[in-house]
Amino acid sequence: MTAVSDFPHEIVVCMGSACFARGNVGSVQIIRNYLEDRGLADKVKVTGTLCQDSCKEGPNVCFDGTCLCKVDPSTLPDLLDERFGLK
Ligand code: FES
């Protein structure tokens, strides 16, 4: 079993109704596919959260505590490449 502290990275996807409806409904699967494809699934904890009161900036996805605002799910792989230093 993997302890939470074993994950060097964390991605938190806002699943509040505004972010969910504006794109995050598909973001979790895109993130999971991205991590699997690159062998990073055991290095990143992916969780969802309730509304963070930043709906106007959404859809919101946070990477290691930094909020990525107005995330277009189709650009998530590129955003994650940048975050992981793969681009
Ligand atoms: S629904 Fe995501 S910040 Fe409100």
CA distance 20 to 81: 23
Task: Give residue 59's pLDDT band: very low, low, confident or very high (50, 70, 90).
Answer: very high
Compute the distance from residue 14 Cα to the ligand 1 centre, in Å.
Answer: 6
Q: What is the pLDDT of residue 84?
A: 92
The domain locations on the chain are 7-77
How many CA atoms are closer than 13 Å to the CA of 42, on its beta-carbon side?
A: 3
Residue 5 pLDDT grade (very low, low, confident, very high; cuts 50, 70, 90): low
Confidence (pLDDT) at 17? 98
Q: Which CATH class is domain 7-77?
A: alpha beta
> Considering only 4-8, 29-33, 56-60, which range has the smallest mean pLDDT?
4-8
Q: Rounded to whole angstroms, how far apart are CA atoms 27 and 31? A: 6
Q: Cα(54) to centroid of ligand 1, in Å?
A: 5
Q: Mean pLDDT, to the nearest integer, of 22-27? A: 96
So what's the pLDDT on residue 6? 80
| Ligand 1 atom at shortest distance from the alpha carbon of 59 | 2
